[in-house]
Amino acid sequence: MTRFRGATLLVTGGAGFIGSAVVRHLLRDTDAQVVNIDKLTYAANLQSLPGADGNPRYRFEQVDICNAVDLRKLFEKYQPDGVMNLAAESHVDRSIDGPGEFIQTNIVGTFTLLQEALRYWRACESNKRAAFRFLHISTDEVFGSLGQEGLFTEESSYAPNSPYSASKASSDHLVRAWRETYGLPTLVTNCSNNYGPYHFPEKLIPHMIIKGLAGEALPVYGSGQNVRDWLYVDDHARALSLVLERGRVGETYNVGGCNERTNLYVVESICDLLDSIASHGDGSRRKLISFVTDRPGHDLRYAIDATKLQTELGWRAAETFETGLAKTVQWYVDEQKWWRSILDSGYAGNRAGLAGTKP
Ligand code: NAD
Ligand code: DAU
């Protein structure tokens, strides 16, 4: 194994869902020295990094990416060869109720990180400067909503509809501008919905698994006909390390697994998988499905064309939706300690994001 040998990578948001998958992947499959920079918000969980603490190639720093002074110290201390920016407020429903944190972390935080990366990069010696990369991890939600036809490509126009996606779109533009204006070697990825182990229980798939296990109502927004394009989180993590390693500077890459499913199909599939693992007293868990008030500004459909990533960098998703979902449901059944500790520390699983429907 020689990938990233001798390289130090700063991974922001490495205690979150995707960031922790990236850290696990880098420690398991590459030789990189990994510095996890995370503020430890409600969404963070260091239990998502089993074994990392004992690994000599791993360091953790509790730092807010909005804090320029702290970031400067980290760049000086670690002299990194690359940055992967995953730190963000990530939940659309929360952004509807309280957009302020999204503006701070996703926009001001990315700006602050870019400034400190630029300052550091400019002072690097020429070989290090030439090899340095700043990879910004973003979402397909920046493109807005598709109708029944078509796919998002790297040429799709930006048309974000939620405070979350608008803040991510803004950060993508900043990253592009720091490349065009200052020459910082940046790249951007835009990925579809991830799922898999260590996913915070507010998101659709873990939410439904946990409620389904408890025999509680399964709240499907609107008619359940909204479509998301699902990607197993470890496939995303591999895509990100490939883009960092071999992607062309200044380019954007779409990441997606070609797994379009309606929300209702996803929830029904979870019900069936749970029923096959642990029977539910009253028959099928499908009976628990309950259609509730829709999310304000709910995007109808996302779907990714990942041809560029596949042809340029040879990436392929290893999991189909069926294999990935079965693994994920089994993981939540087996690893109850991980998610029960989140419930025990105060996350109640209540509906969020209806503020926009109030006058
Ligand atoms: P997450 O909410 O699970 O984790 C975010 C992490 O960032 C947490 O550990 C949190 O503590 C940390 N963080 C938040 N604010 C911070 C700050 N100011 N300074 C330092 N750390 C901070 O999010 P996720 O689902 O893992 O998403 C990671 C990234 O990938 C985000 O940028 C998100 O927009 C993007 N993305 C997510 C998905 C998805 O389906 N989850 C899809 C495409 C892109
Ligand atoms: O597309 C990528 C995005 O996917 C990421 O950028 C975001 O960070 C990530 O949170 C995710 O956003 P979504 O809004 O698509 O994910 P969420 O899990 O919140 O919802 C998925 C779909 O399920 C969405 O159409 C809303 C619906 N939903 C969600 C919940 C929590 C329900 O019907 N019921 C629910 O209880």
Q: What is the pLDDT of residues 121-180, one digit of tens each?
A: 999 999 999 999 999 999 999 999 999 999 999 999 999 999 999 999 999 999 999 999
Residue 55 Rama label (left phi>0; alpha psi -120 to 50; beta) = beta
166 found inside a domain? yes
Distance of alpha carbon 86 from alpha carbon 184, whole angstroms? 18
**Is the per-residue pLDDT at 15 higher than 80?**
yes
Ligand nearest to the CA of 96: 2
Residue 311's SS3 state is: helix
Q: How far is the CA of 32 from the centre of ligand 2 (A)?
A: 32
336 found inside a domain? no
Distance of alpha carbon 115 from alpha carbon 228, whole angstroms? 34
Distance of alpha carbon 142 from alpha carbon 138, whole angstroms? 8
Average pLDDT score, the chain: 97
**Is the per-residue pLDDT at 242 higher than 90?**
yes
222 found inside a domain? no
How does strand 186-191 pair with strand 133-139? parallel
Ligand nearest to the CA of 36: 1
Query: What is the position in ligand 2's atom list of the atom closest to the CA of 229?
Result: 1
Please tell me the residue having the least CA distance from ligand 1 atom 33. Answer: 90
Please state the three-class secondary structure of 93-124 as a single string. Answer: HHHHHCCHHHHHHHHHHHHHHHHHHHHHHHHC
218 found inside a domain? no
Is 220 close to ligand 2, i.e. is its CB under 6 Å away?
yes
Number of domains in the chain: 1
**Is the per-residue pLDDT at 359 higher than 50?**
no
Amino acid symbol at 260: E
Q: Best substitution site from 40, 41, 66, 70 to test ligand 1's pocket, by max atoms within 8 Å of Cβ?
A: 41
Ligand nearest to the CA of 136: 1
**Is the per-residue pLDDT at 357 higher than 80?**
no
**Quick one: average pLDDT of 53-58?**
97
Distance of alpha carbon 186 from alpha carbon 142, whole angstroms? 18
271 found inside a domain? no
Q: Best substitution site from 11, 90, 235 to test ligand 1's pocket, by max atoms within 8 Å of Cβ?
A: 90
**Is the per-residue pLDDT at 250 higher than 70?**
yes
The larger pLDDT score, comparing residue 355 to residue 62, is at 62
109 found inside a domain? yes
Determine the angle formed by the axes of helices 110-123 and 163-182, rounding to 10 degrees. 20
Is 106 close to ligand 2, i.e. is its CB under 6 Å away?
no
Pocket of ligand 1 (CB under 6 A): 12-13, 15-19, 38-41, 43-44, 64-66, 86-90, 105, 109, 137-139, 168, 191, 193-194, 200
The tokens of 252 are what?
A: 């954007």
- The number of angstroms, rounded, from the C-alpha of 94 to the middle of its chain's C-alpha atoms is 15
129 found inside a domain? yes
How does strand 82-85 pair with strand 58-61? unpaired
221 found inside a domain? no
Distance of alpha carbon 271 from alpha carbon 251, whole angstroms? 40
Closest CA to 4 of 24, 34, 49: 34
**Domain of 41?**
8-199+231-259+301-319
CATH number at residue 165: 3.40.50.720
**Quick one: average pLDDT of 40-54?**
97
Is 140 close to ligand 2, i.e. is its CB under 6 Å away?
yes
pLDDT in tens, 294-350: 999 999 999 999 999 999 999 999 999 999 999 999 999 999 999 999 999 999 999
Give me the torsion for CA of 223, 229, 230, 233, rounded to 10°: -130
Assess contact for 107 and 175: CB atoms under 8 A.
no
